Structure 1
Amino acid sequence: MAQRHFEGKAHAESYQRYRVSPPQQLIDEVLNFLQKRIQGQLDLAVDVGCGSGQGTELLAPHFITVVGTDISAAQLEIASAKDHAPNLCYRECPAEELPFEDESSDLVTAMSSAHWFDHPRFLREVDRILKPGGCLALLSYTMDFELEYGESTPKLNEICQEFYTALFPFRKAYIGSSSLQVYKKIYDSVPYKDKEWHECHRSRTIMPLSRFIGFVETFSTYQSFLEKDSVGAKRLSKTITDRLLDAMGASSADTEVVVVLKYFYILASKPQKS
């Protein structure tokens, strides 16, 4: 059964404010994989579980039409309200019931969302809507983000590990102890012979410390803690922020740090018709 999360308006707004887009290099790898299997014009890309559209937007220059889908009306309202390319639109639907014709899509992506899907049903839908030679790309990252800030780096990551450890008990049972393992199971379930598993692509993003904290707060572990004990969750965020600032020798949460994300991803191509 698919899981439903990130649907409230407040959470959708924070998702838009704090979540990061996949690195362009990773999008380029997806496109290179696809263009080796489908030559010429690329008609349709479908980004499933698109949230507020940070990743969906990166596909627009490469396809005639790009459609982001999500089950959350609040997420899609925010995505649609942003300035976006005229060939990009959004549709509300489950990942397991995609409103596209058979063999109509060149690419189906899911960026940091596939772990919530009903995987057998989703993969059947992917196979139904992909053209022969069309590709599936599932991207995500591990939750052990690293911070870099000069000589303070080792201490910052000790504190970050304490943050993640404190949130771990609130992890959804559906995805178990490791999303990496969830995606490896999905990879094993993809029925195509032409498929690749990749880890780990390290991506460095500069952002204010406050945004890093906000980023972590968008995740289901923190949101579950917030629902159970809002005072405790907010206290944890403030304590971690204060300790990080102290280790950095900084006074403002606007101070920029380097955040390192470790991506892993699946690329697979539907067989051409014989």
Structure 2
Amino acid sequence: MSGLFESKSHTEMYSKCRPKPTAEIVQKVMDFLNKHSPLETSESKHQCMVDVGCGNGQATELFAPYFTEVNGFYVSPNQIEHASRKFSNVKYQVANGESMPLKDKSVDLLISCQAVHWLDLNLFFAECNRVLKPNGCLALIGYIEEKINPVQSMQFDTNAVQKYLMDFVASCKMHPLTSLVDKHYCSVYELIKSKNKIHHDDMQEICNWDLESFRNILSTWSGYQTVIKETTDALIAKHGSKNVTADMIKKQDIIETFINQTKQALNAVDKPDDQVKIKVIREWFFILSDKPSSPIKSETT
């Protein structure tokens, strides 16, 4: 995970655009925890929650009202510096999921949102076993932007636009570990040794956006960031840094290709991107488990 989400511009866009788990997902996580570790009263709070791979705190702070202490860990100092600090009981620090600065059996809930695939699963699950309380729980959350649909009043070739999105995805240079996300963490689920575990794989979120918003979200993808860096480096190597302009980069930008193709399919070439309305269907999936019984042998790391 180190090095992929660390530039200042990427951090700022990441903070604005990265998705947050839905209220339904948060509730299902808390229901699972409360079942395994019941509270004394409806007004009580659990003691400690940890978010591994917290980024800017998109998921972290959704759980703040339920815990006395909330910790967000991330390996990038720049991400931690820009993390949201709306709640006084939430603190962030530079740390990784394979070696957490936590006492044994001190954590009620450990979550990781769109991040566990970057970790060494052997070490991570060993740490989960160490830091979780006997009745503690684990929640591993992920998502994929699956489909683009027309808004109610717009007619266009959905298959064509979906193909343009798939072409963009194929052009991104995704790390091999992101294949775990593509498979909805199914292989991660199989690795977890626990008495009780659930794999939710059928939750959709409908997002009513414009093309500008969708562009910004796509720009936070690690695979896109790799491509645009390689494109820029190649242009600099060929023309020299002083001669490379934003327009030169834009002409080879795979996001620009996707946006232009989509606007043509929508008959919206003359409209600004923020006035072109689309509906994006996001697929959420997540794993809920009680404390893993032992460290795991993994073939995926």
Instruction: Give the TM-score taking structure 2 as reference length.
Output: 0.81
* One-letter identity of the residue aligned with 1:14: M
SS at match of 1:64: strand
Residue pairs, 1:184-199, within 5 angstroms: 184-199=186-201
Paired with 2:258 and 2:102, the residues of 1 have a C-alpha distance of 45
TM-fit CA distance, 1:252? 2.3
Paired with 2:63 and 2:143, the residues of 1 have a C-alpha distance of 19
> Structure 1: where are the runs of 5+ without partners?
none
SS at match of 1:260: strand
Match in the other structure for 2:8: 9
SS at match of 1:100: coil
Match in the other structure for 1:247: 265
After the TM superposition, which of the residue ranges 122-131 and 170-179 deviates more from structure 2? 170-179
Shift in alpha-carbon separation, 1:57–1:145, aligned structure 2, 3 A: farther
Deviations 1:197-216 (A, max 9, x none): 11021011223320111101
Deviations 1:138-158 (A, max 9, x none): 000124343442364763553
SS at match of 2:199: strand
Residue pairs, 1:143-182, within 5 angstroms: 143-150=145-152, 152=154, 155-156=157-158, 158-175=160-177, 177=179, 179-181=181-183
Shift in alpha-carbon separation, 1:244–1:169, aligned structure 2, 3 A: closer
Tell me if structure 1 keeps the 8 A contact 2:145–2:281: no
Flag as ranges the 4+ runs of structure 1 deviating above 6 A: none
Match in the other structure for 2:203: 201
Paired with 1:233 and 1:220, the residues of 2 have a C-alpha distance of 20
Residue pairs, 1:117-136, within 5 angstroms: 117-136=119-138
TM-fit CA distance, 1:249? 4.2
TM-fit CA distance, 1:12? 1.0
Deviations 1:174-195 (A, max 9, x none): 3264524372221111121210
Whether 2:299 is the aligned partner of 1:266: answer: no
Match in the other structure for 2:33: 34
After the TM superposition, which of the residue ranges 159-168 and 66-75 deviates more from structure 2? 159-168
Paired with 1:177 and 1:218, the residues of 2 have a C-alpha distance of 17
- Structure with higher Rg: it is 2
Tell me if structure 2 keeps the 8 A contact 1:245–1:252: no
* One-letter identity of the residue aligned with 1:223: Q
Match in the other structure for 1:108: 110
Deviations 1:2-59 (A, max 9, x none): 6652122221111112112111111111111111111113111101101011111101
Match in the other structure for 2:244: none
After the TM superposition, which of the residue ranges 216-225 and 237-246 deviates more from structure 2? 237-246
Residue pairs, 1:38-117, within 5 angstroms: 38-40=37-39, 41-79=45-83, 82-117=84-119
* One-letter identity of the residue aligned with 2:23: Q
Instruction: Give the TM-score taking structure 1 as reference length.
Output: 0.89
RMSD (Å) for aligned C-alpha atoms: 2.3
Paired with 1:233 and 1:30, the residues of 2 have a C-alpha distance of 44
After the TM superposition, which of the residue ranges 28-37 and 257-266 deviates more from structure 2? 257-266
Paired with 2:15 and 2:252, the residues of 1 have a C-alpha distance of 20
> Structure 2: where are the runs of 5+ without partners?
40-44, 233-248, 294-301
Tell me if structure 1 keeps the 8 A contact 2:128–2:291: no
Paired with 2:131 and 2:266, the residues of 1 have a C-alpha distance of 50
Shift in alpha-carbon separation, 1:127–1:145, aligned structure 2, 3 A: farther
